[in-house]
Structure 1
Amino acid sequence: MRMHDFSGRRFLFLLGSTRAGGNTEALAQQAAAQLPSDAEQHWVRLAEMQLPAFTDVRHDGDGSYPPPTGHARTLLDATLDATDLVIASPLYWYSVSTPTKQYLDHWSAWMRVPGVDFRARMAGRTLWGVTALAGADHSDADPLVGTLARTASYMRMDFRGVLLASATRPGQIAADQDAALRAKAFFTP
């Protein structure tokens, strides 16, 4: 199996768990360890970014949003700098975690900030997902996978799928050899 040509690629790993060092993060790290050294990696823990609550003002006035500030600006800049976004969110109630959902909600605002051209600039980038879930039935993650797939489609991004693994208690992912094999092959064609 041949690795993608990742030279010049910039991976943004967006950690969506509310717990540091969880199974999803460990799984993402296993997959990231397979990337070549010339593929940049930037890791962001979304729960530490303290984004403001998202307010939908699309139908107020001209529908534009002010430029983001603080952590929202940091995330916007990091997102636009990345060629590849890896959403690493544990499965929470059959979908993405609260910090991940809040981050994606802010995309709605960023698309409407004058001069940012967020949607147009995201087109052609690559979106990946990583999640750990309780239980062996990976179809429970279908809503999460659907959220990411539809997001990529709407933004005209290349969706490369979701690396799935079953793990509940912290550290449990380390014993899952099948997940480790899937992680090693995740960033391959």
Structure 2
Amino acid sequence: MSRRFLFLLGSARTGGNTELLARRAAEQLPGDVEQRWIRLAEHPLPDFVDLRHDTEHVRPPQDSSTGRLLDATLAATDIVIASPLYWYSVSGLTKRYLDHWSGWLRTPGLDFRTTLAHRTLWGIAALADREPSVADPYVGTLNNSAAYMGMRFGGVLLGNGSGPGDVLQDTDALTRAKTFFAQDAPLARFPYATAAG
């Protein structure tokens, strides 16, 4: 299967630091790798309503934002969450998208988890803090989501930037962006082990 990258831009701002860093990393992909970019703010999802105990899930209509995002997710071999660090985790737009995974997991005939298993989840984030450990909850959200789905996790490319274009001055992040997608992503694992009872 040829690689198909889905870049999900989770910022409310167009052309922000996270997007700039994501585009720098994407420039390094081979020319035959398909890239699809979706700005979540332009495809608003409804609030996720957990209906698992109330009714049967149905596949969303293809012409809705939910249907378009579902189809794009299922078609991707690599899903890149490009969300700025907001309150130490992913943006609200990104969190809403991930919440919809819960519904897709329960949609009859969709086999969402089986389809995404062994595909790769990546993260790219700009943060205003110079201490990268403030992004640990962000990394945990993506790693644990990938582990739950049986996906590979490519890690998170972090860059520093608060004002417009600041990340382009972060030479370390730009250097890491050159090889970020070239690494072999291992299967995600939960960072803790549960003891057998």
Structure 1 residue 50 corresponds to structure 2 residue 27: no
Report 1:27-176 matches (<5 A): 27-61=21-55, 64-69=56-61, 70-176=64-170
CA apart distance, 1:60 = 1.5
TM-score computed with the length of structure 1 as normaliser: 0.93
Name the counterpart of 1:3.
Answer: none
Q: C-alpha separation between the residues in 2 aligned to 1:51 and 1:98?
A: 11
CA apart distance, 1:148 = 0.2
TM-score computed with the length of structure 2 as normaliser: 0.90
CA apart distance, 1:76 = 0.3
Q: C-alpha separation between the residues in 2 aligned to 1:80 and 1:164?
A: 26
CA apart distance, 1:55 = 0.4
RMSD: 1.0
SS in 1 for 2:69: helix
CA apart distance, 1:30 = 0.4
Structure 1 residue 25 corresponds to structure 2 residue 19: yes
CA apart distance, 1:8 = 1.4
CA apart distance, 1:132 = 0.4
Q: C-alpha separation between the residues in 1 aligned to 2:44 and 2:154?
A: 28
CA apart distance, 1:124 = 0.9
Q: C-alpha separation between the residues in 1 aligned to 2:147 and 2:123?
A: 14
SS in 1 for 2:24: helix
**Amino acid across the alignment from 1:166:** N
Structure 2 unaligned residues grouped into runs of 5+: 184-197
CA apart distance, 1:176 = 1.4
Q: C-alpha separation between the residues in 1 aligned to 2:116 and 2:174?
A: 30
1:113-135 superposed Cα distances (whole Å, 9 cap, x missing partner): 11111111110100110000011
- Runs ≥4 residues deviating over 3 A: none
Q: C-alpha separation between the residues in 2 aligned to 1:77 and 1:126?
A: 16
**Amino acid across the alignment from 1:90:** P
CA apart distance, 1:52 = 1.0
**Amino acid across the alignment from 2:132:** H
Q: Percent identity?
A: 61
CA apart distance, 1:166 = 1.0
Q: C-alpha separation between the residues in 2 aligned to 1:99 and 1:154?
A: 21
Structure 1 unaligned residues grouped into runs of 5+: 1-6
